[in-house]
């Protein structure tokens, strides 16, 4: 009998699936016009009326449920089972690491294992699918929320920062935050500013592929993150993911210097204008820099979790309508991050709007859409003109971290002088020193 | 006697410079609070009241002319000379290449040579500073305009495309476009769409450092560009710049697949999701791909130079105020390019605004802020929801090229069906084939 309760299907899709006697987890074949898709029927979330099939390749395909679509039940799939394996006896000599889950593909690793969706992780789930964790840490888990990372807001950052702080104050040896990769680098920058004077590491981790794909990176990333959280000698916010497309090494990037640079690759995260903090290979943590804050359980965490929501990013491009700057000012923006071109430019057509924004007390800052390198607004007339209008150059921060820093800064103070001072202060390694040899900044090379 | 006519200085700066008996081109010393700057006094353009000194490092420094600033004339600089060297006898057997200048650092190479500013190039100037050009081409020059590239608009792209087309119709063997690097990749994409069915190459070229810096890349870039324009076997729009930080090779990127990726490095331009077309090393052109349109002087150029100015780019970030989408719709936008996260997502808070935009006939397309990789909006619910709202995925185009393609498409047609068809047609190599092995897309690697 068809079991589609809580499957999320409705309307035509539900009718077609019922007619073919399909249940969630079954192997089904869906024929639509000229194409046929065979795979596991998975539940439907969100809007839309398509039937979702998880293909052998691991990707999900959505097929619109129209009258000419044919659905066939090919076989019984693995039925969802909610019986978790027992938690192994924990070794009290291992470091105590808490894994906090926020949602995303890494949390869905467990969900999709059996064809069922459970958007949360429990310690027993984790040990069931990544038994190696029992050898490297006493793992505790906490579901902070379960949100696709693209839907996270500044309020969620605040909530998450407070939750992490609670655990650190309870004395854990490290915190791992499982996160969707889409906005993970924004969150890692946010936590870097919010959690100051850390005694232990806080490591964000995600997955580019869910566990039922042969190339899943969920387990290796998680092991690397837990290892770093429990044992690494640094005490900063980091982001742990594959270093290359192979499983050889997990690299921990500094929270303020990391960016998602590929839509699908496992090594999508790259350190920009800086080197990674550490590497985890063969369960061994190796530091990649000597510039880091040392782990020190006695250090007293300083929590500054507030972010201003009234901050907008305006990316410059040829033909940009400068009235979008006026629009943000009228909407009550307290800060605007210009994503300028080259060394830090926008067209002269924007000057009046910027002048007006600054006059109204809006903090206007600028980072470069080049991503790599440092803004230098003293080289060309346009840069100098922008400086004289009061635009604050964001050094070698790429736009996403610059935006988060502006949000955080305006969440700390209402005083413009204080805000400029904070913007120009290196809070969490978000600047690289100016003395770095210029030609060494670029972190990528042509393929051979 | 102080010669400051047409120097651009006024107010306090002019007073200080006159008092110290300085002329443009002189070596001067400016002392401001604790710092002292010594270098060549160069003219002042644009707004602002600072004194501009070209330092030995090649960079210009602007020092605010306040009452406590001291100016001293250290020595006589090389005076501007407008006597151009004679044009060498041209070898009639060499290919005929026209260099069209639009402004930017490469055009200022000649300007700053003598301390004088001339924002244009003539054939004799070029032969004077890059005598090697006489051995590789019969060079003709044309000043199309002289604009900082951040101030270029869609109308300038149209004008430039027409000017290039004129020269091609006159039968030149290749065209070089000297351009400021800030928006050069936007222009190269624009020309790629506007100049179809090219018989000969059109090569954009810029410089990251002006010629009076020891590390200037202007001459080597120009030689590589002229060589490729005159002799390369391909007939497409390319962009020629340093391949690495050394002078060994100039690489020609495909016009639609290239992006400025560093604020200051000479190898700032990178091919994204594709390989470069060609390389020029030791004055020899080597093709880097066998996927290209061959040079064929008999082929008839098709000029489609129109771009729609009513196109906006909205970059997604956590906390994005969705009403910015409504704003663009109300301003009469015909197209909106969403710069989404990951595989092609924006927050659910934007869905209503997108729905409304599409309902009002606005074409909404999406590219990923990851830059590398391909959007795939079938994997997660958010992507599927966006597809069902009518959002058009832009394949493996990074946001800047996707934006230019949307501007060009809406400049070609008012018919929505025709526009979608054009968006989904590969016009100028802006898509890479889907069959490329996924793991091979990334064009950068960690530093060793």
Which CATH number characterizes residue B37's domain? 2.30.30.520
B50-55 and A96-101 as β-strands: parallel, antiparallel, unpaired? unpaired
| Cβ proximity of B363 and B393 under 8 Å | no
Active-site pick, A163, A257, A260, A405 = A260
Amino acid B212: pLDDT: 52
Amino acid B138: pLDDT: 94
pLDDT tens by residue, B234-254: 999 999 999 988 888 999 999
- B154 with B293, same domain? yes
The answer, yes or no, to whether residue A322 has pLDDT greater than 90, is yes
Q: Which range in A118-132, B84-98, B159-173 is most confidently predicted, on average pLDDT?
A: B159-173
Amino acid B80: pLDDT: 47
- A362 with A266, same domain? no
Average pLDDT over residues B146-172: 96
Amino acid B258: pLDDT: 98
- Residues of chain A contacting residue B320, judged by C-beta atoms under 8 Å apart: 312-313
Residue A320 belongs to some domain of the structure: yes
Residue B330 belongs to some domain of the structure: yes
Of the residues A188, A241, A317, A331, the best mutation for testing chain B's interface (the one with the most B CB atoms within 10 Å of its CB) is A317
Amino acid A121: pLDDT: 64
- B109 with B188, same domain? yes
The answer, yes or no, to whether residue B275 has pLDDT greater than 80, is yes
pLDDT tens by residue, B313-357: 999 999 999 999 999 999 999 999 999 999 999 999 999 999 999
The answer, yes or no, to whether residue A239 has pLDDT greater than 70, is yes
B11: number of Cβ within 10 Å: 9
| Mean residue pLDDT across chain A | 87
The answer, yes or no, to whether residue B440 has pLDDT greater than 50, is no
Q: Which of B372, B245, B142 is nearest to A270 (CA)?
A: B372
pLDDT-derived band of residue B7, with 50, 70 and 90 as boundaries? confident
Helix (H, G, I), strand (E, B) or coil at B393: strand
Residue A332 exposed, middle or buried by CB count within 10 Å (0-12, 13-18, 19+): exposed
- B286 with B319, same domain? no
The answer, yes or no, to whether residue A129 has pLDDT greater than 80, is no
CB atoms B384 and A264 under 8 Å: no
Average pLDDT over residues A399-405: 98
Residue B83 belongs to some domain of the structure: no
- A218 with A355, same domain? no
Q: What are phi and psi of B279, to 5 degrees?
A: -135, 145
pLDDT tens by residue, B101-129: 887 666 654 343 333 334 456 666 777 67
Whether residue B262 lies within 8 A of chain A, CB to CB, comes out as yes
- A268 with A138, same domain? yes
Amino acid B247: pLDDT: 83
Active-site pick, A29, A49, A182, A275 = A182
- Residues of chain B contacting residue A268, judged by C-beta atoms under 8 Å apart: 370, 373
- B271 with B357, same domain? no
Annotation marks residue B105 as catalytic: yes
| Mean residue pLDDT across chain B | 87
Average pLDDT over residues A393-405: 98
- B255 with B386, same domain? no
d(CA B166, CA B163): 5
Whether residue A81 lies within 8 A of chain B, CB to CB, comes out as no
Residue B384 belongs to some domain of the structure: yes
Q: Which residues constitute the domain of residue B49?
A: 11-75
Whether residue B381 lies within 8 A of chain A, CB to CB, comes out as yes
Average pLDDT over residues A280-295: 96
Whether residue A391 lies within 8 A of chain B, CB to CB, comes out as no
- Residues of chain A contacting residue B316, judged by C-beta atoms under 8 Å apart: 150
Whether residue A356 lies within 8 A of chain B, CB to CB, comes out as no
pLDDT tens by residue, A63-117: 888 888 899 999 886 654 444 556 667 788 999 999 998 876 666 543 433 333 3
- A167 with A249, same domain? yes
What Rg, from alpha-carbon coordinates, does chain A have? 24
Residue A1 belongs to some domain of the structure: no
A425: number of Cβ within 10 Å: 10
d(CA A264, CA B344): 11
End residue of a domain, out of B303, B322, B352 = B303
Q: Which range in A3-12, A422-431, B77-86 is most confidently predicted, on average pLDDT?
A: A422-431
pLDDT-derived band of residue A272, with 50, 70 and 90 as boundaries? very high
- How many folded domains does chain A comprise? 3
Annotation marks residue B304 as catalytic: no
Residue A253 belongs to some domain of the structure: yes
CB atoms A48 and B375 under 8 Å: no
- In sequence order, the β-bridge partners of residue A315 are A339
- B326 with B409, same domain? yes
CB atoms B324 and A319 under 8 Å: no
- CATH number, domain at A399? 3.40.50.40
End residue of a domain, out of B303, B333, B357 = B303
- Residues of chain B contacting residue A344, judged by C-beta atoms under 8 Å apart: 263
- B320 with B243, same domain? no
Residue B212 belongs to some domain of the structure: yes
Q: Which of A215-224, B213-222, B312-321 is predicted least confidently?
A: B213-222
Residue B229 belongs to some domain of the structure: yes
Amino acid B110: pLDDT: 37
The answer, yes or no, to whether residue A345 has pLDDT greater than 50, is yes
What is the ipTM, given to two decimal places?
A: 0.84
- Please give, rounded to a whole number of angstroms, the shortest distance from the CA of B362 to a CA of chain A: 17
Annotation marks residue A66 as catalytic: no
- Distance, C-alpha A401 to centroid of its chain: 12
> Three-class SS string for A71-119?
EEEEECCCCCCCCCCCCCCCCCCCCEEEEEECCCHHHHHHHHHCCCCCC
| Whole-number percent of chain A with pLDDT over 90 | 63
Amino acid B84: pLDDT: 53
| Cβ proximity of B366 and B384 under 8 Å | no
CB atoms B439 and A403 under 8 Å: no
Nearest to B372 among A182, A261, A312 (CB): A261
pLDDT-derived band of residue B76, with 50, 70 and 90 as boundaries? confident
Amino acid B57: pLDDT: 67
Give per-residue burial for A355-378: e unless 16+ CB within 10 Å, then b.
Answer: bebbeeebbbbbbbbbbbbbbbbb
Sequence-separated (6 or more) residues with CB below 8 Å from residue A108: A117, A119, A210
Annotation marks residue A182 as catalytic: yes
Q: Indicate if the alpha-carbon torsion angle B439, B440, B444, B445 is positive or negative.
A: positive
Average pLDDT over residues B392-400: 97
Amino acid B56: pLDDT: 73
- B46 with B158, same domain? no
- CATH number, domain at B164? 3.40.50.1170
CB atoms A148 and B311 under 8 Å: no
Active-site pick, A102, A158, A181, A268 = A181
Sequence-separated (6 or more) residues with CB below 8 Å from residue B5: none
């Amino acid at each position: 009998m068809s079991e589609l309760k809580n499957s999320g299907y409705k309307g035509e899709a539900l009718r077609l699936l019922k007619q073919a006697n399909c249940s969630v987890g079954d192997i089904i074949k869906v024929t639509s016009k000229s194409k046929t898709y065979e795979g596991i029927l998975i539940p439907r979330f969100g809007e839309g009326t398509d039937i979702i099939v998880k293909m052998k390749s691991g990707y999900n395909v959505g097929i619109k449920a129209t009258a000419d679509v044919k659905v066939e039940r090919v076989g019984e799939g693995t039925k969802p089972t909610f019986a978790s394996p027992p938690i192994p006896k924990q070794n009290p000599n291992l470091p105590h690491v808490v894994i906090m889950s926020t949602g995303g593909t890494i949390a869905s690793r467990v969900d999709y294992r059996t064809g069922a969706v459970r958007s949360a992780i429990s310690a027993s789930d984790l040990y069931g699918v990544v038994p190696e964790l029992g050898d490297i840490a006493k793992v505790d888990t906490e579901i902070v929320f379960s949100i696709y990372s693209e839907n996270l807001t500044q309020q969620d950052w605040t909530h998450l920062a407070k939750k992490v702080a609670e655990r650190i104050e309870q004395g854990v040896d490290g915190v791992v935050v499982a996160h969707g990769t889409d906005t993970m680098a924004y969150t890692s920058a946010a936590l870097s500013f919010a959690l100051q004077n850390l005694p232990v590491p806080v490591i964000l981790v995600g997955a580019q592929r869910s566990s039922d794909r042969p190339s899943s990176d969920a387990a290796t990333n998680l092991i690397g993150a837990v290892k770093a959280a429990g044992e690494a000698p640094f005490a900063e916010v980091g982001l742990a993911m594959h270093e290359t497309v192979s499983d050889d090494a997990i690299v921990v990037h500094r929270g303020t210097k990391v960016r998602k640079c590929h839509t699908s690759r496992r090594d999508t995260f790259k350190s920009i204008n800086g080197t990674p903090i550490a590497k985890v290979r063969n369960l061994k943590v190796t530091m990649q820099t000597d510039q880091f804050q040392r782990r020190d359980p006695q250090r007293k965490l300083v929590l500054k979790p507030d972010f201003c929501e009234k901050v907008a990013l305006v990316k410059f491009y040829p033909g940009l309508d400068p009235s979008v700057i006026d629009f943000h000012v009228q909407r009550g923006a307290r800060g605007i991050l210009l994503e300028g071109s080259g060394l830090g430019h926008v067209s002269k057509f924007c000057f009046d709007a910027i002048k007006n924004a600054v006059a109204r007390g809006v903090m206007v800052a600028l980072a470069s859409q080049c991503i790599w390198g440092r803004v230098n607004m003293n080289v060309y007339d346009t840069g100098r003109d922008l400086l004289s209008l009061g635009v604050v150059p964001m050094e070698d921060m790429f736009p996403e971290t610059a935006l988060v820093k502006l949000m955080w800064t305006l969440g700390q103070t209402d005083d413009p002088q204080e805000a400029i001072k904070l913007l120009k202060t290196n809070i969490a390694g978000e600047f690289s020193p100016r003395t770095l040899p210029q030609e060494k900044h670029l972190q990528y090379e042509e393929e051979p």
